[in-house]
Amino acid sequence: MTSSSMNMGRIVFYEDRNFQGRSYECSSDCADMSSYLSRCHSCRVERGCFMVYDRTNFMGNQFFLRRGEYSDYMSMMGMNDCIRSCRMIPMHRGSYRMRIYERENFGGQMSELMNDCDNIMDRHRMSNCMSCQVMDGHWLMYEQPHFRGRMMYMRPGEYRSFMNMGMGSMRVMSMRRIMDSYH
């Protein structure tokens, strides 16, 4: 196995619970899984980390999966629909840096983060976070303090409005880095 293939992720999706039925193996982003599987009730992450989404084109509810077996993840995670798309999270080595903003379009109070934040209200006196700029690293943002509730995956880039990301009126109250140890 080459060193580049070791850095790639690999996830296998199965139509039925307990890794039964037709399967589809994926090593990269997949915007629409419906042409490969009619449904998906279990999966096995063999290498790396992935975000899975209940809508096509990386929209809707998101779930973070690291290496392991998910024999019935739909009931385990409270998903009421099938996985429709997935995104591989590349391994990141180096620093982590993100600016969070209280309002859309980088408005209102700004705070810069380099570490996990379990509660933006307590740590930064912010009542909400509605936009961000990710300069370094990959992050998970959560709707409740202490890394709970629905989540969003953020990779380096500018996010002017979380409302336009298919998450509705989700408030962001905590965030954590996706570290090498997760891979």
Structure tokens at 117: 């934040």
CATH number belonging to the domain at 10-89, selected among 3.40.50.720, 2.60.20.10, 3.40.50.300, 2.40.50.140: 2.60.20.10
Q: Is 28 exposed, middle or buried (0-12, 13-18, 19+ CB in 10 A)?
A: exposed
Q: Which SS3 state, helix, strand or coil, does residue 116 take?
A: coil
Write down the pLDDT at residue 171: 84
Write down the pLDDT at residue 55: 87
Within this chain, domains 10-89 and 97-177 share the same CATH topology: yes
- DSSP bridge partners of 151: 62, 142
Residue ranges covered by each domain of the chain: 10-89, 97-177
Distance separating the N- and C-terminal Cα atoms of the chain: 17
Q: Which fold has domain 97-177?
A: Gamma-B Crystallin; domain 1 (2.60.20)
Residue-level pLDDT, tens digit, the chain, 183 residues = 333 444 579 999 999 889 999 999 999 999 999 889 888 888 999 999 999 998 889 988 889 999 999 988 666 666 656 788 999 999 998 999 999 999 999 999 999 999 999 999 999 999 889 999 999 999 999 999 999 998 999 999 999 998 877 666 778 999 999 997 665
Write down the pLDDT at residue 8: 79
